Amino acid sequence: MNRLEVLDKGYVILHDVMGSDLTVVNSARVSYDKKSESLTEGDRRLIAFLAREGHTSPFRHSTLQFEVYSPLMVARQHFKYIVGSSIAEATGDNMDAWNESSRRYVTEEPTFYLPQPDEWRSAPESSKQGSGDIVPYVIGKAAWLRLMDQIDSDYANYKWALEHGICAEQARLFLPAYGMYVRYYWTASLQSVAHFVNQRLADDAQVEIQAYARAVLELAREHFPASIDALVTEAGVRK
């Protein structure tokens, strides 16, 4: 299994993996000029120790490459995990990579995230971010119809612009951005993957990106079960 469907039209695919739990162990044991040939119970305890004590460098010797198809509002939150304030991150030397399809170059049929009438959430009562319970169906149905009408109208304007010779990079201005699906490749170290999962499985994370974090977690755990169990927390509890 290397593909999981997410939301109404999205997905996460794990295309490539470098390393395993044994890679983590041997990256740590090289300090003592030692090497394991197969993963033992002692090696599992070492992985748990490394994660617990914050010795994270051995987890950066393994990488995973994902293809993600998500609404733009999810992709822009996800993008935060390769951008930061350090010199290494600013220069692109943090060993994470991101490449995204561009409507400057492609004019494939736009696809949009359209929550169903029973999927619209209320604003939370005790927080400025996140969401609360599902709104009454009549409100959800009205929101669904309004969004569908807006998508139809904006898409018609987009097609009109292309048909009248306007370049793709400007015609895309007509498309409603936040709900439009984008396709991108994300390559990251095992540590970076765990960091993303930990933060985006938190209760206050946006529901849509939680769905993508669960898919990433499930795909990564298949290849790094001991490391993922040691690194990943959900609401402060080890998984």
Q: Is 200 a catalytic residue?
A: yes
d(CA 154, CA 101): 20
Contact 186, 65 (CB under 8 A): yes
Residue 42 CB neighbours (<10 A): 10
Q: Which of 45, 183, 200, 238 is catalytic?
A: 200
| Residue ranges of E strands in 29-159 | 63-71, 97-100
* Sequential pLDDT tens for the chain (239 residues): 699 999 999 999 999 999 999 999 999 998 777 888 899 999 999 999 999 999 989 999 999 999 999 999 999 989 888 754 343 444 444 557 777 777 666 667 889 999 999 999 998 877 667 788 999 999 999 999 999 999 999 999 999 999 999 998 899 899 998 899 999 999 999 999 999 999 999 888 899 999 999 999 999 999 999 999 999 985 433 44
Residue with tokens 């498309």: 175
List the structure tokens of 167. 């370049």
